[in-house]
Amino acid sequence: MPPTTFDETYEPRAWTCGECRRILGVVMRDTSRVRRLWVFSFDRFGDDLPATSMLRNPPRGLFRVHGDYACDGVECSRCGAINEWAGNKESFDKLMERYPIKEKG
C-alpha cells in the first residue's frame, strides 16, 4: 500500500475509548478529504498524543492499524470496552453535539 498523503490543513484528533477516555488512536484526513483512523500499538494516557510531524511520518511500530476507513472493534487495554469507529458515525456524533435534541415538556 502506498504511503498516505495527508491534508496539512486538518489537525489530527485523538480517538478515545468510549468508557474510560484513554487514547486508542488518531483520526487524520488524506488529500481526498477522507478521514481515516490509525490505531496505536499501545494505548496512551491523557494528552500524550505525539507531535503532528511524528503522526504523519510515524516511526516503525507506532501504529498497529494504518489508515482504516471503519473498524468494528478495538479493545481498550484498560477497561476492556470494544470501540467502533466509522467516518460517517463520527460526523453524526459531531452533528448531535452541535444540535442537541431538546426534551419536550
Q: Is 1 a residue whose pLDDT tops 60?
A: no
More confident residue, 34 or 87: 34
Total Cβ atoms within 10 A of residue 62: 16
**Cα dist. 96→3, 20, 27, 100 in Å?**
33, 21, 19, 5
Of the pLDDT bands very low, low, confident and very high (cuts 50, 70, 90), residue 20 is very high
What is the rounded distance in angstroms from the CA atom of residue 25 to the CA atom of residue 5? 18
Nearest CA among 42, 11, 3 for reference residue 27? 11
Q: Is 2 a residue whose pLDDT tops 70?
A: no
Per-residue model confidence (pLDDT) at position 105: 60
Query: CA end-to-end span of the chain, whole Å?
Result: 54
Per-residue model confidence (pLDDT) at position 77: 87
Among all chains, which residue has been given the C-alpha cell 452541535? 98
More confident residue, 90 or 61: 61
List the chain domain ranges. 13-98
Per-residue model confidence (pLDDT) at position 8: 86
